[in-house]
């Protein structure tokens, strides 16, 4: 364990911060959130960054308000052997099982099994936000860590934009771009042992240096093209509204306009969680469902929360009151749900 009880931490992939209240099993910690001191949640140790100065013997280095702390350096693994038949630059997603063996996230790697070096930029995104954005130099026969892809992100059909420049004695070569869409069926069918890491991962080929070069008409900066034309819903502004883009007809047709937030329907191993942890998980699933409903242009949805003590219903109502896309919502008796669901109307 790198952290002790009382250590103040930042979450690596969100804006949240908190303090360690307990050391759990299998590299997990209990964190009390600064934003809601009544709520404590479990977190993986590698997803946390210590705020310097809260461990005895160190000097406090405060982060200016509104500025995220710099993430730790990404790991880079060098191959210990020569690869006879290199495939090129590959994107690999390593499954990261949780305590109960369930995979809820994947560690993304850029694999370069060639004897050449490249400058790279890789952007993985969904309709309204970036998931991973990484750039740097990929040394010969190395695997470089890029970031985390959540299992739930696969439901949003993520896309990848990648740009590479071969490093030569005369300097960087002409940039080569590629774009691909990650579909769940293709993702799970691509599980195989990847080079350098030598472990099972879901793999995609981004660039084969041995392939014929693309024509000049294809050499437009794909990253700029993607951001300007493919992702009109993404915005660098600070609007509170959810960016909206024209919905995918097939995705809209298969969308189920209700979500059951009873914890047994969301995760396994929930018996070990306290009420605060359960409420946080339920609200995370609710928020993703709400964001997707707005993105697809669904007119109304039902959020099933049950009756119980009413804390989940009240937390949902508080968020709906502040949501700019919600016209109204009501928790009235319904012939299917009774009083255990809230109807949300968007237009």
CB 183 within 8 A of CB 149: no
Note whether 110 and 89 are within 8 A (CB).
yes
What structural domains and CATH numbers belong to the chain? 1-72 (2.30.30.30), 76-230 (2.60.40.1600), 249-345 (3.30.1370.110)
pTM flag (> 0.75): no
- Compute CA distances 270 → 21, 24, 78, 252, whole Å: 19, 15, 39, 31
> Residue-wise pLDDT tens for the chain (347 aa)?
567 778 888 887 777 888 888 777 667 788 888 887 767 788 888 788 887 544 443 344 444 555 544 445 678 888 877 788 899 999 999 998 876 778 888 999 999 999 999 999 999 988 767 888 888 899 999 999 998 898 888 888 899 999 999 998 888 888 888 889 898 888 988 889 898 988 899 999 999 887 765 544 444 444 444 444 444 444 433 333 333 333 455 677 778 889 999 988 888 777 778 888 888 889 888 988 998 888 888 888 999 999 888 899 999 998 898 888 888 999 888 888 888 999 999 86
Cα radius of gyration (the chain): 23
What tokens appear for 100 in the block?
């109960």
CA distances (Å), origin 262, targets 257, 270, 308, 313, 341: 16, 11, 11, 12, 11
- Find, among 158, 131, 159, the residue nearest to 146 by Cα: 131
State residue 229's pLDDT score. Answer: 40
Q: Which long-range contacts (CB under 8 A, 24 or more apart) does 250-256 make?
A: 251/157, 251/296, 252/296, 252/297, 252/298, 255/292, 255/293, 255/296, 255/298
In terms of DSSP bridges, do strands 300-304 and 76-78 run parallel, antiparallel, or are they unpaired? unpaired
Q: Quickly count: other Cβ atoms within 10 Å of residue 237's Cβ.
A: 6
Give CA 258 to chain center in angstroms: 23
Reading phi first (left if > 0) and then psi (alpha if -120 to 50, else beta), residue 156 is in alpha
3-state secondary structure string across the chain = CCCCCCCEEEECCCCCEEEEEEECCCCEEEEEECCCCCCEEEEEHHHEEECCCCCCCCCCCCCCCCCCCCCCCCCEEECCCCCCCCCCEEEEEEEEECCCCCEEEEEEEEEECCCCCEEEEEEEEECCEEEEEEEEEECCCEEEEEEEEEHHHHHHCCEEEEEEEEEECCEECCCEEEEEECCHHHHHHCEEEECCCCEEEEEEEEECCCCCCCCHHHCCCHHHHHHHHHCCCCCCCCCCCCCCCCCCHHHHHHCCCEEECCHHHCCCCHHHCCHHHHHHHHHHHHHHHHHHHHHHCCCEEEEECCCCCCHHHHHHHHHHHHCCCCCEEECCCECCCECCEEEEECC
Q: Round to whole Å and give the CA distance between 37 and 56.
A: 23
User: What pLDDT shows up at residue 238?
Assistant: 35
Quote the tokens at residue 185.
Answer: 């069926």
């Amino acid at each position: 364990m790198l952290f002790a009880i009382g250590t103040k931490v930042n979450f690596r992939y969100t804006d949240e911060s908190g303090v360690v209240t307990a050391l759990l099993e299998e590299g997990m910690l209990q964190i009390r959130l600064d934003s809601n001191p009544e709520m404590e949640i479990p977190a993986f140790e590698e997803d946390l960054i210590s705020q310097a100065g809260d461990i005895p013997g160190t000097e406090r280095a405060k982060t200016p308000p509104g500025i995220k702390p710099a993430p730790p350096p990404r790991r880079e693994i060098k191959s210990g052997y020569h690869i006879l038949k290199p495939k090129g630059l590959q994107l690999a997603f390593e499954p990261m099982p949780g305590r109960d063996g369930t995979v809820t996230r994947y560690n993304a790697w850029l694999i370069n099994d060639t004897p050449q070096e490249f400058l790279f930029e890789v952007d993985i995104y969904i309709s309204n936000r970036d998931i991973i954005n990484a750039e740097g130099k990929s040394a010969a026969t190395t695997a470089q860590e890029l970031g985390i892809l959540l299992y739930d992100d696969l439901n949003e059909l993520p896309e990848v934009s990648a740009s590479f420049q071969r490093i030569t004695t005369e300097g960087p070569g002409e940039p080569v771009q590629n774009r691909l869409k990650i579909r769940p069926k293709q993702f799970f069918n691509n599980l195989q042992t990847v080079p350098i890491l030598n472990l099972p991962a879901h793999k995609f080929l981004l660039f084969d240096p041995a392939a014929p070069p693309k024509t000049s008409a294809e050499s437009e900066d794909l990253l700029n093209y993607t951001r300007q034309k493919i992702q009109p819903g993404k915005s660098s502004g600070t609007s509170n509204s959810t960016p909206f883009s024209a919905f995918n007809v097939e995705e809209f047709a298969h969308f189920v306009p209700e979500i059951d937030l009873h914890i047994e329907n969301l995760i396994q191993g929930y018996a070990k969680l306290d009420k605060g942890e359960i409420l946080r998980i339920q609200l995370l699933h609710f928020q993703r469902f709400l964001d997707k409903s707005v993105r697809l242009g669904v007119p109304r949805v039902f959020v099933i929360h049950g009756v119980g003590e009413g804390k989940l219903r009240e937390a949902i109502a508080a968020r709906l009151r502040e949501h700019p896309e919600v016209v109204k919502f009501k928790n009235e008796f319904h012939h299917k749900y009774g009083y255990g669901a809230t109807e949300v109307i968007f237009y």
